Chains A and B, each alone.
Chain A
Amino acid sequence: MTWYDVYAIFQGAVFTVAISLASIVIGLPLGLGFALIRWSRIPVLDRIVVVYVSVIRASPAVTLALLIFFALPVVGISMGAVTAAIVTLTLSTATFNTEIWRGALMSFPSDQLESARAFGMPRALRFRRIVFPQILHSALPALVNEMTLQVKSSPAIAVLGLVDITRAASRVGARTYDPLPPFVVALVLYSLIVAVFVMSQRFIERRRAAELEAAR
């Protein structure tokens, strides 16, 4: 294995990070939106979200990727492999985020909502000022956990011919007839990526704790 091979795997890592981040950035608010639809029991939409979540959650990422890439053109929606990959990962992470946000919303203390109502806060303001800042903190650990799972399910998009960490590593392994080193490199890179997520979560939690401490 040469330095060029390491570089190739590293490029795969950049791709993995890029599509994971894209799907996380879109999937977080999307999941929150779906959770809000369910929480406010908006008729019809509510049922649609339930069906969406149960179907996508049951579907393996590989299957979903192939479905989106090959089946959607049949109904007139066609997209490039990268777009299809991002859509796949976004839809999949959004369903898990929906459940996480919904859990946080369901366990939100109703007396606080009631006092917000009594103090004349309309629905949107209640959510923005009272609910969101608190559920963000209660949901954060689960959300970060989902982000790391998301990174780990990203190799599925290799079926679309895209080269992520795992695909890059197996290519190197196939060419050099020595698969062990490239996969060790791959594992190290995954660990680094996940470590960044976990560290940023710890950072946010420490900052929050410091804030509370300062207010003593």
Chain B
Amino acid sequence: MIPPMDAAEAPVVLAAHGISKSFGANTVLTDMELTVRKGETVCLLGPSGSGKSTFLRCLNWLEEPDAGSVLLKGQRIGVRASGNIVMSDGELAAIRTRIGMVFQHFALWPHLTVLQNVMEAPIHVQRRDKAEVRREAEALLERVGIADKAGQYPARLSGGQKQRVGIARALAMKPDLLLFDEPTSALDPELVGEVLAVMKDLAREGMTMVVVTHEMAFARDVASRVVFLDRGRIVESGSPEEFFTRPKTDRAKQFLLRYSAQ
């Protein structure tokens, strides 16, 4: 489970400092800090409504934070290096190509086949060679175990298959970082395993990932670090070993109790 490189020395891929966000009077995130090093799998845990999705969406600026900064390999996201000018749609788009995202409800493009979904962004956003992208896309579908569905439209797939397409689509961009927002929450219980297995492989192969999840077993077995948030603040952060066996705060204890009771 532990990445080949010593995690403490691996280069920092993502650094988020002092992220705060409110929707009107509702303060959702307060002064969030997160550093992710190359090869790490960071699991974000927390009760419903604690701000996990919002935080994840701030990392690639799908949501614009009210305060704080996000750096991808040292490059500021959302705000131009010179001064405090917010990036244009095009500039943001260019940076987002380096961050893959996997969605709870898949968010595949239904008018494109599975293969086309995977090839879409590499060809039209990254403008890479079509034949090469195709070869890679086919290899990715093979890797997530759905090569036989390449020519089908998403509507014909099971939830587990859709999510594996979602993962292949994100990998096709060759991103520096992958974000997952509850990738298995919309799945029937018997389909959860096939998606988690793919994610586990990615973690083992050294992909850098931030995963919002309610799958405690996954967090315990796969995460290199667990971050627990509650009401928009980081309450605990540490190794899964530590968090699951010796939670320090009452809130974390209550949270874990609810999951072990299920």
A interface residues with partner B (beta carbon < 8 Å): 111-112, 114-123, 125, 129-130, 133-134, 137, 212, 215-216
Contact = CB atoms under 8 A, between A and B. Distances in A.
Top-10 shortest CB links A-B: A120-B97, A115-B107, A119-B121, A118-B101, A111-B107, A120-B96, A122-B93, A120-B93, A120-B125, A122-B90
B93 A121 contact: yes
A125 B125 CA distance: 8
A134 B152 CA distance: 17
Contacts of B113: 215
Tell me which of A114, A118, A125, A129 has the highest count of chain B C-beta atoms within 10 A of its own C-beta.
A118
B141 interface: no
B147 to A, nearest CB: 15
A215 B97 contact: no
Nearest to A133: B111
Contacts of B99: 118
Given A112-B109, A122-B89, A129 B62 contact: no
Given A115-B103, A119-B173, A120-B94, 11 more contacts: A111-B103, A111-B107, A115-B101, A117-B93, A119-B96, A120-B96, A122-B89, A130-B109, A133-B111, A134-B111, A215-B152
B246 interface: no
Contacts of A125: 124-125
Contacts of B238: none
B93 A215 contact: no
A143 to B, nearest CB: 18
Nearest to A125: B124
Contacts of B107: 111-112, 114-115
Nearest to B121: A119
A216 B94 contact: no
Contacts of B126: 120
B105 to A, nearest CB: 6
27 contacts: A111-B103, A111-B107, A112-B107, A115-B101, A117-B93, A118-B96, A118-B99, A118-B103, A119-B96, A119-B101, A119-B173, A120-B93, A120-B94, A120-B95, A120-B173, A121-B124, A122-B90, A125-B124, A125-B125, A129-B124, A134-B110, A134-B111, A137-B111, A215-B152, A215-B156, A216-B152, A216-B156
B151 interface: yes
Interface in B143-179: 151-153, 156, 169, 173
Nearest to B60: A118
A115 B121 CA distance: 11
Contacts of A216: 152, 156
A114 B125 CA distance: 15
B90 to A, nearest CB: 5
B120 interface: yes
B93 to A, nearest CB: 4
Contacts of B97: 119-120
Contacts of A215: 113, 151-153, 156
A133 B105 CA distance: 21
A134 B108 CA distance: 13
A95 B153 CA distance: 34
Nearest to B126: A120
Contacts of A114: 62, 103, 107
Nearest to A136: B111
B125 A121 contact: yes
A117 B107 CA distance: 11
A23 to B, nearest CB: 29
A118 B179 CA distance: 10
A215 B110 CA distance: 12
Contacts of A117: 62, 93, 96
Contacts of B95: 120
Contacts of A112: 107-110
Contacts of B125: 119-121, 125
A115 B89 contact: no
Nearest to A123: B89
A112 B89 CA distance: 17
Contact of A120 (B103, B110, B121): B121
A117 B113 CA distance: 19
Contacts of B90: 122
